[in-house]
Amino acid sequence: MNPPRTLPELFFQAVERHDHREFMRYKTAGEYVSIPAREFREEVELGAFGLVSWGVEPGNRVALLSENRPGWAFADLSTLCAGGWTVPIYPSLPAEEVGYILKDSGSKACFVSNREQLDKVVEVRDDLPDLRCVITLDPIDREGDDHCCTARELIERGKAERQASPGTLEERLADIDPEDVASILYTSGTTGKPKGVVLTHRNFVSNVIDSLKALAITAEDTHLSFLPLSHSFERTAGYYIMIHAGVSIAYAESVDTVADDMRDVRPTVMTSVPRLYEKMYAAVLRKASEEGWLRKRIAFWARKVGIEYAERKVGGRSISTILKVKYRLADRLVFSKLRERTGGRLRFFVSGGAPLTPVIAKFFYAAGLPILEGYGLTETSPVISVNTFEAMKFGTVGRPIPNVQVKIEPDPERPEGDGEILVKGPNVMQGYYNMPEKTAEVMTEDGWFRTGDIGLLDEEGYLAITDRKKDLVKTSGGKYIAPQPIENEFKMSKYVSQAVVVGNKRKYASVLLVPNFENLEEWAESKGVAHAEVEELIEAEPVDRLYEGVLEEVNAGRPGYETIKKFRLLAEDFTIEKGELTPTLKVKRGVIEDRYAELIDTMYEEEVPAGG
């Protein structure tokens, strides 16, 4: 069997090779239900015929507005088989942003998951002259709307269309070229309007094949999917790669049920962003603290032993007999419990989307749950590099995958070896949809893509990311500060949920901190700090001293210009709903700096004391 050239070929070949496997699993009435591969293929083919019956032509855009579920894959693959371009939309977006993407893409059809998502489309539909039909994955009463049908009705239409024109699908599939557009992915963006990234079948398929050369994923694996499929990381790494490898995909009931779903599904591989690992890490230490001083001491001792063990193991250094004995004890007392919480079968995580704190990477490695940290962007389909079992280095995002080139463009204002990361390869996008000027800004004349990230390649070829170029804080003294590593250190504290470093064009850097309110409330109760509301709690003098201690820990060992001079505590967490986070939980710095501008200014009034 020749390697696939298009996404439909990738899907159909996978079904032929692994038709005996359960293709997907989803939860209904509290139980997981399996979908056989051949049954799913039949539905996809009928879905494609159904779209043809609605007048969807090759090159037409079809939007997907849904949470993770088998129906998302059904909508995606049906569209691709009909020759259409899929336009995924985050289900967390409000109606206004959904309308912008539908209009900008000129989508002819739109799949929606449920009533909530349908209502968003209905709200903006009068401004969408290109939209011909809306297909609901849930069986929703359409109230006489002739331009709306359910997925089940689409399949029935597909049966009639296949009977009338049986050769249509085969013709459509034969006409798909690897260089044809497969999808427009609108970046969630931390600033401005989202840009539509145009990716071809070749972009996706090459990235799938080249990534699998680095990742040890096989048909014996089971994947638990919970990251938004609208994001390129989950779409390629948690969906197309898994299909091609013959992996059984189980969908989490929701983001909030992942812990329970892990125990039910017992996955062997998972993809996630660092926020999951941060929460799991914090939960282990918090649970140990709640079980008394002895359990707490054991947990922190195990962490210390595990980190030393991981550093030596991955670094290829000798491990003493006494460290081996300590590690075996730490594993029995602490790490084995963490493995049980993941279902007991997990071989590894794949991490992307944001930098992973090295301490957490080492902790999970010691726990027998290695996190293979990688790097990529929507514009690169997305995988650029990834750590592997054979080649791993903490604090890096691994080496570039096969057929992808990476180089660093030196920056005279940055330390030697540090500069903007440029990428070239078959995974690099065609450009931004209807934005030639924006495309020209990021593509060089000889085909290199400017990532906008600052990093370096070490002598062994490992790539390390410093930060986003546009996120770097430049003080009025001309010194550059990378905020993400500092923010990640703050988040290592059990009392910090979120951190945003500020200080651009100011004399020094400061930070906005969102407390971990659960842990802070427990601490306040133990210290007898009286308060009626959260706002009163964060103004209390003992709380101020607590966070001054956190600040001192983060500043320890940092050069003077990189130290954080002042902080302010916020009374509520950042959320997607308030526009402060992207759908992939990245902080929208501009929004936060605007929203808290007055509070930030107070950190630069000389008479204001250092605390919060």
Per-residue pLDDT tens over the stretch 166-187: 999 999 999 999 999 999 999 8
Q: Judge if 464 and 482 occupy the same domain.
A: no
In a domain, 333, yes or no: yes
Torsion from C-alpha of 244, 378, 68, 82, nearest 10 degrees: -60
| Whether residues 123 and 89 fall in one domain | yes
> Among 49-53, 242-246, 354-358, 371-375, where is mean pLDDT lowest?
354-358
206 located within any domain: no
Residue 279 above 50 pLDDT? yes
Percent of the chain clearing pLDDT 70 (strictly above): 97
* Average pLDDT of the chain, as a whole number: 93
Q: Do 488 and 394 belong together in one domain? A: no
CA proximity to 270, closest of 400, 370, 363: 370
What pLDDT band is residue 607 in, cutting at 50, 70 and 90? very low
Query: Are residues 484 and 432 both part of a single domain?
Result: no
Mean pLDDT, residues 598-604 taken together: 94
pLDDT recorded at residue 189: 59
Q: Tell me 331's DSSP state.
A: I
For 215-253, the pLDDT digits (tens) are 999 999 999 999 999 999 999 999 999 999 999 999 999
CA–CA dist 361, 398 (Å, integer): 13
pLDDT digits (tens, 9 = 90+) for 394-440: 999 999 999 999 999 987 777 677 899 999 999 999 999 999 999 99
Let me know if residue 205 belongs to a domain: no
> What is the tally of structural domains in the chain?
3
Domain of residue 553 covers 472-602
Structure tokens at 25: 């699993």
The per-residue pLDDT for 611 is 46
pLDDT tens sequence across 200-219: 999 999 999 999 999 999 99
In a domain, 607, yes or no: no
Q: How many helices (H) and strands (E) does the chain have?
A: 23, 26
For residue 462, being part of any structural domain is answered with: yes
Q: What is the DSSP annotation of 397-420?
A: --EEPTT-EEEEEE-TTS-TT-EE
In DSSP terms, which residues pair with 198 in a beta bridge? 184, 431
pLDDT tops 90 at residue 530: no
pLDDT in tens, 426-477: 999 999 999 999 999 999 999 999 999 999 999 999 999 988 888 888 888 8
CB 25 within 8 A of CB 2: no
Does 293 lie in the same domain as 153? Answer: no
CA distance 371 to 392: 10
CB 63 within 8 A of CB 76: no
pLDDT tens-digit series, residues 476-500: 888 889 999 999 999 999 999 999 9
Residues 301 and 447 in one domain: yes
Under 8 Å between Cβ of 353 and 586: yes
Q: What is the pLDDT of residue 477?
A: 81
- Residue 605 is predicted with a pLDDT of 81
- pLDDT of residue 609 exceeding 70: no
Q: Can you give the CATH number for the domain in which 517 is found? A: 3.30.300.30
Residue 576 has pLDDT above 90, yes or no: no
pLDDT > 90 in the chain, percent: 82
Q: Which two tokens stand for residue 84?
A: 């259409």
Determine, yes or no, domain membership for 267: no
Asked if 478 and 563 sit in the same domain, the reply is: yes
Burial class (CB in 10 A: 0-12, 13-18, 19+), 168: middle
588 residue type, one letter: K
Does 455 share its domain with 478? no
Residues 338 and 419 in one domain: yes
Say yes or no: 105 and 53 in one domain. yes
Which of 438, 508, 520 lies closest to 474 in space, CA to CA? 508
pLDDT over threshold 90, residue 577: no
CATH label of the domain that carries residue 376: 3.40.50.12780
Question: Is 401 domain-assigned?
Answer: yes
Q: Are residues 496 and 562 in the same domain?
A: yes
**Banded pLDDT at 318 (limits 50, 70, 90):** very high
Domain assignment of residue 148, yes or no: yes
| Residue keyed to tokens 């600033």 | 191
Same structural domain for residues 464 and 486?
no
| Cα 242 to Cα 233: distance, rounded to the nearest angstrom | 12
